[in-house]
Every structure is written in C-alpha cells, then in structure tokens.
C-alpha cells in the first residue's frame, strides 16, 4: 500500500481542499459527475468516508459532515443518499473510465453512486 502519497493536482493545500470540496458537493447534488480519472479516484475515497459518517444521522455526525461540505449537501446526503446505502458496508461509488480528452489527452472518468 502507498501510504502518505496524496494526489496534489498541482495546487497548494487550500486550493486543493476547495477543489475537492466543490467536487464532493457537485457529486452529492447531481448524483454523478464527469472529471479526470485522478480526481475521481481521490473523490471516491473522500466521499465513501463521508457517506459512512452520514449513515448514522446524529447531530454530531451532521456537524462533522458540515465541516467538510455545505449544509445543503449534508442534508441531501443524510436524508436521501445514506438511507439507500445502509445495508452496504462499502463500494457505494462507481468510477467508470470514459477514454481520453481530445484536447490534452487526460483520462476522463464518470463517478456516480451505485444504485441500491
């Protein structure tokens, strides 16, 4: 396992956190998004952890989630997405490769929630 090796996306820490926060919020609000493969793989790890936290809908979990993402996304995650994945112990997100982007050749992927 490669521990401690994070993808940095050519950004400083605050810009990277803002990028990942906006990607997580977009994924929760839209259900699926198309992005680069590296971003999708990182987003999968982060969103799985948030979804696991949302399965226990206590006030403490809600406050911990709202530190990472916005309030609207937290309420949608707890009320609509988490109850459909309660029986699953993981693997709630699917990353599908879509090929390369014509302009720069970057690997493109679609990330989405698995249907219950």
Residue 116 has pLDDT above 80, yes or no: no
pLDDT score recorded for residue 34:
97
pLDDT score recorded for residue 37:
95
pLDDT category, 87, cuts 50, 70, 90? confident
The tally of domains found in the chain comes to 1
With tokens 């999968």, the residue in question is 44
Run of H or E residues at 70: none
- On whether residue 92 sits in a domain, the answer given is yes
pLDDT score recorded for residue 5:
77
CATH of the domain at 32: 3.90.1030.10
Residue 96 has pLDDT above 70, yes or no: yes
- On whether residue 105 sits in a domain, the answer given is yes
- On whether residue 8 sits in a domain, the answer given is no
- On whether residue 96 sits in a domain, the answer given is yes
More confident residue, 35 or 1: 35
- On whether residue 7 sits in a domain, the answer given is no
Q: Give the CA dihedral 49, 21, 112, 64, nearest 10 degrees.
A: 30
* Contact predicate 22/69, CB 8 Å: no
Run of H or E residues at 110: strand 107-113
pLDDT score recorded for residue 1:
66
- On whether residue 1 sits in a domain, the answer given is no
- Residue 82 belongs to domain spanning: 13-113
DSSP code of residue 34:
E
Residue 101 has pLDDT above 80, yes or no: yes
* Dist. CA 116–CA 113, nearest whole Å: 9
When pLDDT is averaged across residues 49-78 and rounded to a whole number, the result is 93
pTM for this one? 0.90
- On whether residue 59 sits in a domain, the answer given is yes
- On whether residue 103 sits in a domain, the answer given is yes
């Amino acid at each position: 396992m490669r521990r401690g090796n994070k993808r940095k996306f050519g950004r400083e820490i605050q810009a990277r956190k803002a990028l990942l926060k906006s990607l997580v919020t977009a994924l929760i609000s839209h259900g699926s998004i198309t992005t680069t493969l590296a971003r999708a793989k990182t987003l999968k790890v982060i969103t799985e952890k948030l979804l696991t936290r949302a399965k226990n809908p206590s006030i403490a979990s809600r406050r911990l989630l709202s530190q990472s993402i916005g309030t609207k996304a937290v309420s949608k995650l707890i009320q609509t997405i988490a109850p459909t994945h309660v029986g699953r112990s993981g693997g709630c997100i699917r990353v599908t490769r879509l090929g390369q982007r014509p302009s720069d050749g970057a690997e493109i992927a679609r990330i989405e929630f698995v249907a219950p």
